[in-house]
Structure 1
């Protein structure tokens, strides 16, 4: 039988998903700028803006780990 996912594992996985999402948004903004033929300064600005927007999206869209599986709370001590 498989044990339930621990709260620490859930928090760690969600942290990696959030970080990956922020990096995906930031780097995609930079790649679009490169494809458009922007200068180095504009590319760096695009990446920084994309990272900021990605952080705002993660803050708004992703819940905390306890909100994802609230039924799993309290069962870790078994």
Structure 2
């Protein structure tokens, strides 16, 4: 039987980057959507901040939910 091709540290780093990327994608998306309403810079910052919080919560939920279906290592 062949072992895994990446180490546990590499897998953890990749997972961390994916989580950060997901949060940032949602945060930037909220800021871009807010541009449709001709906002002030403060409103754009508030939209991005709120979207980052929502993105963190969504990422936590998705990771926790998918963890129930993944094989235990």
Q: What interval of TM-score do these two structures reach, taking the shorter chain for normalisation?
A: 0.7 to 0.9
Where in structure 2 are the equivalents of 1:1-78 lying within 5 Å? 4=4, 5-63=6-64, 68-70=70-72, 73=73
Spell out, residue by residue over 1:11-45, the C-alpha distance to the aligned partner (whole angstroms, 9 max, x if none).
10000000000000001000111122111111100
Runs of 4+ with deviation above 3 angstroms: 66-69
Normalising by structure 2, report the TM-score: 0.79
Whichever of the two has the greater Rg, that structure is 1
TM-score scaled by length of structure 1: 0.75
**Structure 1 unaligned regions, length at least 5:** 74-78
Aligned residues: 68
Q: Give ranges in structure 2 of 5+ residues lacking alignment.
A: none
